[in-house]
Amino acid sequence: MPAHGLTSLVDQPVLLALTLIIVTSTLIFTCLKFKPPSHSQHKVLLVPPGSLGLPFIGETIGFLRALKRDKAQEWISKRVTKYGSVFKTSVLGCPTVFIVSATGNRFVFHSNDNSIMINHPKTIVTILGKHTMLELSGNLHKLMRGAVSSFLGPEMLRKYVGEMDLLVKQQLSLELGGKETVKAVKLLKRLAFRVTCALLFAIPPGSEQDLLLEDFTTTIRGLLSLPFNLPMTPLRRAIRARERICNRLSNLIRKRRKEVMEGRVSLKDDMISSFVNLRDENGKDIGDDVLIDNLISLMIGSHDTIMSLLSMLLRLIARNHVVRNGIIEEQEAILKEREGVEDDKLTWNDLQKMKYTWSVAQELMRMNPPVFGSFKKVVKDTSFGGFDIPKGWQVCWLANVTHTDKNNFPDPERFDPSRFMGPSKSFPPFSYIPFGAGPHVCPGNEFARIEVLLILHHLIVNYKWSEMVPDEPITRNPTPYPSKGLPIKLHPLEK
Would you list which residues are annotated within the binding site for heme? 442
Q: Which is nearer to ligand HEM, 237 or 377 (CB)?
A: 377
Instruction: Answer positive or negative: Cα dihedral of 61, 64, 69, 72.
Output: positive
Would you call the peptide bond into 478 cis, given omega within 30 degrees of 0 as the criterion?
yes
Q: List Cβ neighbours of 385 (8 Å cut-off, separation of 6 or more).
A: 48, 85, 86, 99, 104
Q: Which is nearer to ligand HEM, 256 or 303 (CB)?
A: 303
Binding flag, residue 370, ligand HEM (CB under 6 A): yes
Of the candidate spans 164-172, 243-251, 346-354, 366-374, the one that interacts with ligand HEM by CB under 6 A turns out to be 366-374
Burial 66-105 (b: 16+ CB within 10 A, else e): bbbbbbbbebbeebeeebebbbbbbbbbbbbbbbbbbbbb
Q: What is the dihedral of CA 449, 455, 459, 465, to 10 degrees?
A: -70
Q: Which is nearer to ligand HEM, 235 or 398 (CB)?
A: 398
Q: Answer yes or no: are the C-beta atoms of 96 and 116 closer than 8 Å.
A: no
Of the candidate spans 21-29, 378-386, 417-425, 430-438, the one that interacts with ligand HEM by CB under 6 A turns out to be 430-438
Of the candidate spans 10-18, 226-234, 408-416, 439-447, the one that interacts with ligand HEM by CB under 6 A turns out to be 439-447
What is the size of the binding site for ligand HEM (CB under 6 A)?
24
Q: Which is nearer to ligand HEM, 60 or 311 (CB)?
A: 311
Binding flag, residue 227, ligand HEM (CB under 6 A): no
Q: Which is nearer to ligand HEM, 400 or 408 (CB)?
A: 400
Q: What's the min distance (Å) between Cβ of 271 and ligand HEM? A: 9
Q: Answer yes or no: are the C-beta atoms of 460 and 327 closer than 8 Å.
A: yes
Burial 309-348 (b: 16+ CB within 10 A, else e): bbbbbbbbbbeeeebbebbbebbeebeeeeeeeeeeebbe
Q: Which is nearer to ligand HEM, 134 or 252 (CB)?
A: 134
Instruction: Answer positive or negative: Cα dihedral of 302, 303, 307, 313.
Output: positive
Q: What's the min distance (Å) between Cβ of 25 and ligand HEM? A: 33
Subset of residues 284 to 343 that bind ligand HEM, contact rule: CB under 6 A: 297-298, 301-302, 305-306, 309
Binding flag, residue 436, ligand HEM (CB under 6 A): yes
Of the candidate spans 8-16, 60-68, 160-168, 440-448, the one that interacts with ligand HEM by CB under 6 A turns out to be 440-448
Q: Which of 182, 354, 364, 371 is the binder for ligand HEM (CB under 6 A)?
A: 371
Binding flag, residue 440, ligand HEM (CB under 6 A): yes
Q: Which of 434, 478, 482, 485 is the binder for ligand HEM (CB under 6 A)?
A: 434
Q: Which is nearer to ligand HEM, 265 or 364 (CB)?
A: 364
d(CA 92, CA 75) in angstroms, rounded, equals 15
Q: What's the min distance (Å) between Cβ of 399 and ligand HEM? A: 7
Q: Which of 444, 478, 480, 482 is the binder for ligand HEM (CB under 6 A)?
A: 444
Binding flag, residue 104, ligand HEM (CB under 6 A): no
Q: Which of 61, 97, 133, 295 is the binder for ligand HEM (CB under 6 A)?
A: 133
Binding flag, residue 86, ligand HEM (CB under 6 A): no
Q: What's the min distance (Å) between Cβ of 452 and ligand HEM? A: 7
Which residues pair with residue 265 across a beta bridge? none
Instruction: Answer positive or negative: Cα dihedral of 302, 303, 305, 309.
Output: positive
Q: What is the number of the residue whose Cβ is closest to ligand HEM?
A: 444
- Decide: helix, strand or coil at residue 278: coil
* Other CB atoms within 10 Å distance of the CB of residue 411: 8
Q: Which is nearer to ligand HEM, 302 or 382 (CB)?
A: 302
Binding flag, residue 435, ligand HEM (CB under 6 A): yes
Of the candidate spans 81-89, 177-185, 401-409, 433-441, the one that interacts with ligand HEM by CB under 6 A turns out to be 433-441
Burial 458-473 (b: 16+ CB within 10 A, else e): bbbeebbbebeeeebe
Secondary structure (DSSP) of 110-179: --TTS-EEE---HHHHHHH-TT-GGG--HHHHHHHHHHHHHHHSHHHHHHHHHHHHHHHHHHHHHHHTT-
Phi, psi of 463 (to 5 degrees): -140, 155
Q: In what order do the strands lie in the sheet with 463-467?
A: 181-183, 487-492, 463-467
Q: What's the min distance (Å) between Cβ of 13 and ligand HEM? A: 33
- Which residues form the interface with ligand HEM (CB under 6 A)? 133-134, 145, 148, 152, 297-298, 301-302, 305-306, 309, 370-371, 374, 434-436, 440, 442-444, 447-448
